[in-house]
Structure 1
Amino acid sequence: MAFTFQINDDVNWNHDEKLLKKAEENLPEIIETTVVPVAIADVVADQKGANGYVAKISDKNITKLADYTLGRDESIVLDLGDHYVGHFTLAINSVGSPMDAPLYLQLKFAEVPAEIAAKSSDYDGWLSKSWIQEEYIHLDVLPATLSLPRRYSCRYIELKVIDTSPKWKASFSQPVFTAESSVSMNQLAPYEIDDPELKDIYNVSVKTLLDCMQTVFEDGPKRDRRLWIGDLRLQALANYATFGDLALTKRCLYLFGGMTTEEGKVPANVFTAPELIPDDTFLFEYSIFFAAILADYYYETKDLEVLKDLYPMAKKQMDLAMKLVDDEGRLNLLEEWPAFIDWSNEFEKDTAGQGTMIYALRRFIIIAKVMEETAIETYERVLADMIHFSREVLFDTKEQQFIVEKNHEINVASQVWMVLAEVFDQEKNSEIMTTTVATQFPITGIATPYMYHHVVEALFLAGLKEEAIILMKNYWGKMIDLGADTFWEAFKPEEPDFSPYGSPIMSSYCHAWSCTPAYLIKKYL
Structure 2
Amino acid sequence: MAFTFQINNDVVWDYDKNLLDRAEANIPRLIETEIHPIGIVERISEKQRVNDFELIKSDKNSLSLSDYSLGRGESLILDLGDHYVGQFSIDIASVGSPMDAPLYLRLKFAEVPSELYADSADYDGWLSRSWIQEEYIHLDVLPAKLQLPRRYSCRYVELTVIDTSPKWKASFSNPLFIAKSSVSVDQLPKVTIEDDELKAIYNVSVKTLLDCMQTVFEDGPKRDRRLWLGDLRLQALANYYTFNDLFLVKRCLYLFAGMHTTEGKIPANVFTEPELTPDDTFLFDYSLFFVTSLYDYIEHTNDYDALENLYPIAKRAVDLATKQVDNEGRLVLTEEWPVFVDWANDFEKSTAGQAIMIYTLKRYLKLAEAYNEPEKAVYQQLLDKMIEFSKQSLFDKKQRQFIVEETNEVNVASQVWMVLAEVFDTKKNQKIMQETVKQHFPIKGIATPYMYHHVVEALFIADCSEEAIKLMKDYWGKMIELGADTFWEAFKPEELDFSPYGSPILNSYCHAWSCTPAYLIGKYLLAKE
Q: TM-score, normalised to structure 1's length?
A: 0.99
In the superposition, relative to structure 1, how do residues 129 and 179 fare at CA in structure 2: closer, same or farther (>3 Å)? same
Shift of 1:45: 4.6
Who is 1:464 aligned against?
Answer: 464
> Does the 8 A contact of 2:30 with 2:215 survive in 1?
yes
Who is 1:428 aligned against?
Answer: 428
Who is 1:24 aligned against?
Answer: 24
Matches within 5 A, 1:291-440: 291-440=291-440
Shift of 1:275: 0.0
Between the aligned partners of 2:520 and 2:46, the Cα distance in structure 1 is: 32
Between the aligned partners of 1:389 and 1:88, the Cα distance in structure 2 is: 56
> Residue 335 of structure 2 aligns to a residue in which SS?
coil
Between the aligned partners of 1:19 and 1:43, the Cα distance in structure 2 is: 50
Who is 1:287 aligned against?
Answer: 287
User: Which stretches in structure 2 are left out of the alignment for 5+ residues?
Assistant: none
The one-letter code of the counterpart of 2:234 is: L
> Does the 8 A contact of 1:46 with 1:53 survive in 2?
no
Between the aligned partners of 1:493 and 1:339, the Cα distance in structure 2 is: 25
> Residue 286 of structure 1 aligns to a residue in which SS?
helix
Matches within 5 A, 1:57-456: 57-456=57-456
Between the aligned partners of 1:124 and 1:316, the Cα distance in structure 2 is: 41
The one-letter code of the counterpart of 2:456 is: V
Deviations 1:65-88 (A, max 9, x none): 100000000000000000000000
Moved over 6 A (4+): 46-50
Deviations 1:331-381 (A, max 9, x none): 001101111000001100000000110001100000000001111011001
RMSD (Å) for aligned C-alpha atoms: 1.1
Between the aligned partners of 1:384 and 1:447, the Cα distance in structure 2 is: 33
> Residue 298 of structure 2 aligns to a residue in which SS?
helix
The one-letter code of the counterpart of 1:372 is: N
Between the aligned partners of 2:64 and 2:83, the Cα distance in structure 1 is: 23
The one-letter code of the counterpart of 1:34 is: E
Shift of 1:46: 6.6
Kindly, what percent of the aligned residue pairs are identical? 69
In the superposition, relative to structure 1, how do residues 47 and 523 fare at CA in structure 2: closer, same or farther (>3 Å)? farther
> Residue 224 of structure 1 aligns to a residue in which SS?
coil
User: Which stretches in structure 1 are left out of the alignment for 5+ residues?
Assistant: none
Deviations 1:107-140 (A, max 9, x none): 0000001111111110000000000000000000
In the superposition, relative to structure 1, how do residues 255 and 50 fare at CA in structure 2: closer, same or farther (>3 Å)? farther
Deviations 1:156-206 (A, max 9, x none): 000000000000000000000000000000111211100000000000000
How many corresponding residue pairs?
A: 525
> Residue 252 of structure 1 aligns to a residue in which SS?
helix
> Does the 8 A contact of 1:46 with 1:54 survive in 2?
no
Shift of 1:6: 0.3
Shift of 1:53: 3.5
Between the aligned partners of 1:408 and 1:46, the Cα distance in structure 2 is: 46
The one-letter code of the counterpart of 2:449 is: P
The one-letter code of the counterpart of 1:320 is: L
Deviating more after overlay: 495-504 vs 99-108: 495-504
Shift of 1:43: 2.0
Shift of 1:2: 2.5
Between the aligned partners of 1:183 and 1:292, the Cα distance in structure 2 is: 24
Between the aligned partners of 1:259 and 1:244, the Cα distance in structure 2 is: 25
> Residue 383 of structure 1 aligns to a residue in which SS?
helix
Between the aligned partners of 1:164 and 1:221, the Cα distance in structure 2 is: 33
Matches within 5 A, 1:31-42: 31-42=31-42
Between the aligned partners of 1:269 and 1:6, the Cα distance in structure 2 is: 12
> Residue 470 of structure 2 aligns to a residue in which SS?
helix
Between the aligned partners of 1:451 and 1:209, the Cα distance in structure 2 is: 17
The one-letter code of the counterpart of 2:498 is: F
> Residue 497 of structure 1 aligns to a residue in which SS?
coil
Between the aligned partners of 1:68 and 1:193, the Cα distance in structure 2 is: 43
Q: TM-score, normalised to structure 2's length?
A: 0.98
The one-letter code of the counterpart of 2:266 is: V
> Residue 55 of structure 2 aligns to a residue in which SS?
strand
Between the aligned partners of 2:48 and 2:468, the Cα distance in structure 1 is: 25
Deviations 1:236-268 (A, max 9, x none): 000000000000000000000000101011100
> Residue 405 of structure 1 aligns to a residue in which SS?
coil
Deviations 1:296-345 (A, max 9, x none): 00000000010110001101111011001011110001101111000001
Shift of 1:51: 5.5
The one-letter code of the counterpart of 1:510 is: C
